Amino acid sequence: MKTLIVINPNSSQAVTDGIDAAVDPLRRFGIPIRCLTLAQGPPGIESQRQADLTIAPMLALAADQQDAAGYVIACFGDPGLHALRDQTALPVVGIQEVSVMTALTLGQRFGVIAILPTSIPRHLRAFGAMGVLDRLAGDRALGLGVADLADESKSLAAMIATGKRLRDEDGANVLIMGCAGMARYRAPLQEATGLPVVEPTQAAVSAALGQICLSLSHKIQRADHA
């Protein structure tokens, strides 16, 4: 059966397991979802260089999935998004792009919880390219690496504090979790801040499933060109 392939471009199986758990409720729609870890990736993607180096092996991993119905790139930063769209006519969704689009339907101004300060310039370049900087309330870093996110004692309190600053100081009325490694903290973060919280892998898988069901593609083959 054709399957939605979700690729974690870092080599952390713990992150992939968190993604798999986060998207599990979406399996009820009947399309199988397979979450893969890119073994050649770094333990966590925390810089533009690390993100760019994952693109070639990720494209190869995607090409190996003969049963693919579509793809989700599960890294906030969407490394290789346009390259994979060049490679296939199947739906390809990046979690950063779709999480912003989802947030814009839930509030007027969105705030992003980043992992490290070095992540923020990457985010701002992407938001600028999307033309949504006027809807960005703020982008604040936890000061934690991807590996630290697995430790709830370190990360959850920091995420809640950062979310409240985005709400109270920056005026955000919807929050985006700026790393796939944050997936399991969506519910407590939403409860603590009282704001809608977009978990990017859930948003991306939801969008990809819709595109698959509707046979939507970024590459349309015209009948007179067949």
Which pLDDT value is given to residue 87? 97
Cα 137 to Cα 152: distance, rounded to the nearest angstrom: 26
Distance set, CA 63 to CA 56, 66, 126 (Å): 11, 7, 26
pLDDT tens digits for range 61-100: 999 999 999 999 999 999 999 999 999 999 999 999 999 9
Buried b / exposed e over 187-215, threshold 16 CB at 10 Å, is eebbebbebbbbbbbbbbbbbbbebbeee
- Cβ neighbour number for residue 151 with a 10 Å cutoff: 10
Q: Where are the alpha helices (DSSP H) in 144-199?
A: 152-168, 186-193
Regarding pTM above 0.85, the answer is yes
> Is 54's pLDDT higher than 50?
yes
pLDDT tens digits for range 150-159: 888 889 999 9
- In the chain, the domains with their CATH numbers are 3-94+202-225 (3.40.50.12500), 97-200 (3.40.50.12500)
Contacts of 111 (CB under 8 A, 6+ apart): 136, 137, 138, 139, 140, 163, 166, 167, 170, 172, 174, 175, 176
Angle at 153 between CA 96 and CA 138, to 5 degrees: 35
DSSP 8-state symbol, 156? H
Which pLDDT value is given to residue 121? 92
